[in-house]
Amino acid sequence: MMMTKEKLIEIKEKVKPDMIEKLLKEDRVEYRGADLVLKGEYFKKQVRIALKNCDIIEPTNIEEYIALDGYHALYKCLVEKQPVDVVEEITNSLLRGRGGAGFPTGRKWAEAHKYPADKKYIICNADEGDPGAFMDRSILEKDPHSVLEGMAIGGYAIGSDQGYIYVRAEYPMAVKRLQIAIAQAKEYGLLGDNIFGTGFNFDIEIRLGSGAFVCGEGTALMESIEGRRGMPRPKIHRTAHKGLWGRPTIINNVETLANIPVIIERGYEWFRGIGTEKSPGTKVFALVGKIENAGLVEVPMGMTLREIVFDIGGGAQNGKEFKAVQTGGPSGGCIPADLIDTPVDFESLGKIWSIMGSGGMVVMDEDTCMVDIAKFFLEFSVEESCGKCVPCREGTKRMHEILDRITKGEGVEGDIERLLELAETVSGTSLCGLGQTAPNPVITTIKYYRHEYEAHIRDKKCPAKSCKALIQYFITDSCIGCTRCAKACPVSCISGKVKERHVIDQDMCIKCGACYDACPVKPIKAVTIN
Amino acid sequence: MEFKFDQKKFSDEITSFKKMLIDKKDSPGPLMPALQQAQELFGYLPKEILGLISKELSIPLAEIYGVATFYSQFSFIPKGENRVSVCLGTACYVKGSQTLLEELEVQLNIKSGSTSLDQKFSLDSARCVGDCSIAPIVIVNDDVYAKVKKNEIAGILAKYK
C-alpha cells in the first residue's frame, strides 16, 4: 500500500481517542502540557524523549505509533525537505551520539552525505553490551518504530537505501519486536520502495551479534556483518567515508536514532532548550545495583547525580550508606559519594575521569569493595579483548593478575604504581576504544579509593569486608546455640553444643557465608565478619 | 570425550539448512547468518556442518573456524537438554551471582562452560541479560529465575531432572 499524509492522519484520528481513553482508564498516564506521560512519583522528574512511547503504546501495533505522531517526521523529511536540510537540522540540534562517546550526529551525517557512492549504508548499533545497561533493549522492545523511522530519515539524509540493525542475539524479544515492526512498516508502505510516492527506497535487515562485546565498536561491527572475526580496523578512513564494504556508512546508536523523529517534528530550537549548552537533550540511564528504585530513567543532560540517585532512585538499598556510582561500564569510572553533585553531561563526567558511556549507572554501597569492582571490570575487558593488538590483549591481562593478587591478600608494595604505569600504556596505545578505556575503572578506583588498595596490600584487610581471602567469620558471645549455623555449614567446621556458644574452625572455613545467612540472632547477628 | 553428531536424526534439518545456504550464497556477508542458523538448528556446530558451509559458500574451512571460535555464542560441543546459565553482569555480580554459579557447579558436578556426559544439563555464565532490577538471575532454558538465593538452587534444578 502507498502511504500518504491523509492516510497517516486518518489512522491517527481513528486510533488515538480509544487508545487514550483506555490508558486514562487504566490510570497509567497523565497529561503534562499536551504530552502524554507515565504517571507516578518515579516519572515526575524525568523528561522522556527517546522513551516517550515506552509503556504507553502497544509495540506490536504500528497504528498506535502512528496515532502518537509516528512517521509524521519521515513524511516531513521526504516531502518537504531536501536531504541537505535534514542534515542541517540534525547538525543544528547539536545531538550527540548516545552510545557513549558523544560524537556529534550531524557531523557524521554531513560527512556521509558529502561522499558520492553507488551504495551507502546506515547501521543501527544495537549491540548493547555494557554490564548493567538495558536502555537500548527497552527502546527496541517497547518502541521499535521510533528506531526504524530514525533510520529511514538518516538514510534519506545521506542518500542510503539500505539499513542494518546489528542487535545482540541475547535480546530475543527485541529481535522479535523488530521483525514484527519491519514487516508492518513494509505493509504500510513506510519501508520498501517509493515511500510516500517520493521515489525514496529504504530497506532494513536485521543482523544478529554472536556474543562478542567488542562488536559494539563500529569497525568491529562492520567486520562482523561482512562475515569475519569482529576485530576493529585501524582507523585510516572515517566510517562515514569508507565503512561497510568500503562504502560511506553511518553507525548510530539505538537511543540516538530514537531522538531523530522527535527533533524533526519539534525542531532543533526546541531540542536545544533541553539539557545543557554543549550537551542538549536528554539521556536515558539504567539505574541498577544496590539502589532502592531500580529501572530506566530519562533526564535532561546536566541533572546532578544526586538528583538521579537520590531523588529519583531513592538512594542506596536497605538503608545502607551510598558509596559510589559507576557510569560507563567497563570503559567508565567509579564516582565517589563526595562528587555526587556533579552534573551529568559529556564534559562534566570526563572531568572527573569517568565517561557518560551508553547509560549504565551502577550504584554501590558500603559493602562493595572497590578493588574487587576494578577487578571485575578488568576481567570483563580481558575476556572481551579481541586479541588483535598487544597492549590490550597483554596489558589488561597483566593488570588483572595484579588486581587478583591484591584481592587475595598477596599484593606487594609497588603494585599500585605498576597498575598505573600499565594503565597509561594500555590506554595510550590500544587500537580501539575497548583497550583505550579498559583501564578507566582501575584508574578511578585508585584515584578515589587508594586507601582501600593500601589496606589490601599493607594490612591484608578488605575494608568493605568483601574479599574472601581477607575476611574471617567469627561467632560472638551473643550466640544462642541454636545450631542453625552448624547445620548450614557445607564443610562442617562449626562445632558447639545446643544452647552453647558455637565456634568456627578457621583453618577449615571456606568463607562461604552460609553461617552468616543462617544466624537468626537479632538485631545484630552473632556471626560477624572481621 | 567425543560427542557424536547424529546425521540421521537431523536429516530434515540438514536438507533445509542446505537450501538456505544456496539461497544466501549470493547475498552480502552470508557467513554469520549461516553459522547462527546452524547453531540454532543443531544446538552446536558439528564438524560435518562446518564442512557443508565451506563447500556451499566457497569459504575455506580454516577461515570459518577462525570466525566461529571468535564469537562466544558458537559452540563446538552440544548443549545439554537443559541449559542453565547464571548472569555475571555487574548488578547480578554485586548481588552474589558468583556464589550461585559455584553452587551450580557443585550440584551438577560440571564446570561452567561444559555439558554433563548424559547431555542432560549444560552450565554457562552469561554476560548481562538486561534484567538488572531483579538481580541476581539464573536462567534455565527460557525460564528466568529472579532474585535467586543459594538455597533455592536445588529446588530449581529439581524441576528439570
Domain layout of chain B by residue ranges: 11-70, 82-158
Q: Are residues A355 and A377 in the same domain?
A: no
Q: Domain ends where: A240, A272, A304?
A: A272
The CATH number linked to A45 is 3.40.50.11540
Q: Cβ contact (<8 Å) for B36 and A512?
A: no
Q: Are residues A441 and A353 in the same domain?
A: no
Looking at the domain assignment, is residue A332 inside a domain?
yes
Looking at the domain assignment, is residue A277 inside a domain?
no
Q: Are residues A264 and A141 in the same domain?
A: yes
Q: Which fold has domain B82-158?
A: Glutaredoxin (3.40.30)
Q: Cβ contact (<8 Å) for B71 and A329?
A: no
- Domain limits at A396? 370-458
Q: Are residues A322 and A304 in the same domain?
A: yes
Q: Domain ends where: A241, A272, A303?
A: A272
Q: Which residues contact A45 (CB under 8 A, 6 or more apart)?
A: A299, A303, A307, A311, A312
The fraction of chain B above a pLDDT of 70, given in percent, is 96
Examine the pLDDT at B90 and tell me if it is beyond 80: no
Adjacency order of strands within the sheet including A249-253: A192-195, A200-208, A162-167, A121-126, A249-253
The CATH number linked to A325 is 3.10.20.600
**Which of 324-383 (A) contact B at CB < 8 A?**
326, 329, 360, 362, 364, 368, 373, 376
Looking at the domain assignment, is residue A170 inside a domain?
yes
Q: Are residues A331 and A378 in the same domain?
A: no
Q: What is the pLDDT of residues A476-508, one digit of tens each?
A: 999 999 999 888 777 788 999 999 999 999 988
Q: What is the pLDDT of residues A129-182, one digit of tens each?
A: 888 889 999 999 999 999 999 999 999 999 999 999 999 988 999 999 999 999
- The whole-model pTM stands at 0.86
Looking at the domain assignment, is residue A463 inside a domain?
no
Cβ–Cβ under 8 Å, residues A191 and A145:
no
**Which of 277-306 (A) contact B at CB < 8 A?**
286, 288-290, 294-295
Alpha-carbon dihedral angle through residues B17, B19, B22, B26, given to the nearest 10 degrees:
-80
Q: Cβ contact (<8 Å) for A169 and B73?
A: yes
For residue B86, the model assigns a pLDDT of 94
Q: Are residues A360 and A374 in the same domain?
A: no
Q: Cβ contact (<8 Å) for B130 and A170?
A: yes
For residue B132, the model assigns a pLDDT of 67
Q: What number is the ipTM of this complex?
A: 0.80
Cβ contacts of A133 on chain B, cutoff 8 Å? 128, 130
Q: Cβ contact (<8 Å) for B127 and A289?
A: no
Looking at the domain assignment, is residue A420 inside a domain?
yes
For range A375-401, the mean pLDDT: 95
Q: Are residues A201 and A346 in the same domain?
A: no
Q: Domain ends where: A365, A397, A415?
A: A365
Looking at the domain assignment, is residue A467 inside a domain?
no
Q: Are residues A214 and A361 in the same domain?
A: no
Residue to substitute from A141, A210, A217, A291, interface B, most B β-carbons within 10 A: A210
Cβ–Cβ under 8 Å, residues A349 and A431:
no
Q: Are residues A121 and A232 in the same domain?
A: yes
For residue A493, the model assigns a pLDDT of 87
Q: Are residues A341 and A241 in the same domain?
A: no
Q: Domain total for chain A?
A: 4
Q: Is the dihedral of CA A425, A428, A429, A430 positive or negative?
A: positive
Q: Are residues A85 and A151 in the same domain?
A: yes
Nearest-by-CA chain B residue for A313:
B133
Half-sphere exposure of A430 (CA within 13 A, CB side): 26
For residue A363, the model assigns a pLDDT of 94
Q: Are residues A437 and A314 in the same domain?
A: no
In 3D space, the residue among A151, A183, A156 whose CA is nearest the CA of residue A166 turns out to be A151
